[in-house]
Amino acid sequence: MPAGSTTRLCVARAQRDAALMPRIQRVLQVNPQVYDADKVWRQLNREGLSVARCTVERLMKRLGLEGARRGKAVRTTVPDKALPCPLDRVNRQFRADRPKQLWVSNFTYVSTWQCWLYVAFVIDVFARRIVGWRVSRHMRTGFVLDALEQALYARQSGQANALAETINVLYKTELICKWVLWKSWEVRKLVILEWVTWFNYHRLLESIGYIPQAGDEATYYRQFAEKSNSKVLT
């Protein structure tokens, strides 16, 4: 290849890189700086920008950017084998054909300067959407039931732990491990509310095809309405 052609290609690549880097930084900034190269690439393509995944990975490395990484798993619960084990009512099959068909719940703990806090989530299995959550300074049954009541009120309607544990891991990876110790539980509650809103309406989730949970539910209800209308017309 002539030297002039090589130079032009290098200049074009440099110009393309210069245009892409601010967009990569923007995607990370609006998604709590937790996306890795794969999710940044998918988000850019959702926005209509055709770019190679390897290009995004290369530019993120140049910018010194990386997504949230899951830490080493820590065993925090040691079950008492002498006690009866809760029934597995879904046989480890965490699948649902529609919203509000199956919910799962779990809680985890985080620390602040003031005290330990416990966070409970209720998740709709269909789109992995968080439909209820609560923060408490104790881990009594009542605070988990409060999360369920919030979900029932919000969804106006189900009831399995492994899927809920996955949401707990995402929460700790994307929100807890990225930031310093929070000063108070009031601040923590506000930050969790912001994270839940982002998680439901903006986060790309691999298990449902790299789309936001709210988008997956909206697609279901739109298709359901279209089928209902077609039956009425026929």
Which pLDDT score, from 0 to 100, does residue 128 have? 87
Question: Would you call 123 helix, strand, or coil by DSSP?
Answer: strand
Task: For residues 112 and 43, give the distance between their C-alpha atoms in angstroms, rounded to a whole number.
Answer: 33
- Give ∠ CA 137-138-139 in degrees, rounded to 5: 135
Asked if residue 129 lies in contact with residue 123, where contact means CB atoms within 8 angstroms, the answer is yes
What pLDDT does residue 167 have? Answer: 53
> Is residue 102 classed as helix, strand or coil in its secondary structure?
coil
pLDDT at 157: 46
Residue 29, H or E segment:
helix 3-30
Strand, coil or helix: 133: strand
Identity at 180, one-letter amino acid code: V
Phi, psi of 195 (to 5 degrees): -65, -45
Q: What is the pLDDT of residues 8-38, one digit of tens each?
A: 778 888 999 999 999 999 999 888 788 999 9
- Residue 101 CA neighbour count, 13 Å, CB half: 13
Residue 153: pLDDT over 80? no
* Choice among 128-132, 169-173, 217-221 with the minimum mean pLDDT: 169-173
pLDDT classification of 154: cutoffs 50, 70, 90: confident
- Look up residue 163 and give its DSSP letter: H
Got the DSSP string for 142-157?
HHHHHHHHHHHHHHT-
* Structure token digits, residue 147: 């999360």
Amino acid at 218: A
**Among residues of the chain, what percentage have pLDDT more than 70?**
75
Q: Pick the range with the lowest mean pLDDT from 20-24, 119-123, 215-219.
A: 215-219
Q: Which of 152, 150, 154 is nearest to 136 (CA)?
A: 150
- Residues in a beta bridge with 110: 117
